[in-house]
Amino acid sequence: DAGVIQSPRHEVTEMGQEVTLRCKPISGHDYLFWYRQTMMRGLELLIYFNNNVPIDDSGMPEDRFSAKMPNASFSTLKIQPSEPRDSAVYFCASSLGTGSQYFGPGTRLLVL
Amino acid sequence: GENVEQHPSTLSVQEGDSAVIKCTYSDSASNYFPWYKQELGKRPQLIIDIRSNVGEKKDQRIAVTLNKTAKHFSLHITETQPEDSAVYFCAGRKGSNYKLTFGKGTLLTVNP
């Protein structure tokens, strides 16, 4: 059974460019979470969805960040325009109801 | 919102010794407490979790204890092995909200 899938695994871009991160949750899971991990701030929840509907986006740092979940098997996190301070590892995780959250391998983003 | 504090930030033990990592939480409504292990460059992986209706849970060499009155929970690893070396994160969650709030992590080093 495949776990959470994320792409790309690594992304290097220049300041001002648009970045799109992708996630496929575990089949059957109804919750999807986007996290950001940095040395300074640790693991932070950005936004989470339930049945494709955004429930809490209070962790999204600013309007440059947006997330969508057009169907149960796909979600995107977009940064436009990107800035060097957005450099981090972005994780997607999914869960079934109140069950355990399972993380994807992450996307390591570097904005130059 | 919930605040989770984790101690110590680093822990070094000799192979075969026990390791204990402690976390405190602020919101008495929190009722689910998972622990994740993250190896360098990898995803956080769930290793054990506990719900507020249970005081202790054990899985082979790993155990978690919960003190609801004091609002703290601990991870215990016995007979440590070099492959236990990693960063360990605790987290807390309220039943009414699916957001996990993570501690800052503990870097555990097991010396052979």
A45-85 per-position pLDDT tens digit: 999 999 999 999 999 988 999 999 999 999 999 999 999 99
Whether residue A110 is predicted with pLDDT greater than 90 in this model: the reply is yes
Neighbouring residues of B110: CB distance < 8 A, sequence distance ≥ 6 = B13, B14, B15, B19, B80, B81, B82, B83, B84, B85
A48, closest residue in chain B (CA to CA):
B99
Residue B111 bridge partners (DSSP): B14
Contacts of B46 in chain A (CB under 8 A): 100-102
Whether residue B22 is predicted with pLDDT greater than 70 in this model: the reply is yes
Which residue type sits at A11?
A: E
Please give the radius of gyration of chain B, using alpha carbons only, rounded to the nearest integer.
Answer: 13
Q: What does each C-alpha distance from A28 to A25, A51, B7, B99 come to in angstroms?
A: 8, 10, 36, 19
pLDDT at B99 (0 to 100): 86
| Interchain CB distance below 8 Å, A91 and B49 | no
Residue A90 token pair: 């972005």
Residue A88 C-alpha, separation from nearest chain B C-alpha, in angstroms: 12
pLDDT at A1 (0 to 100): 59
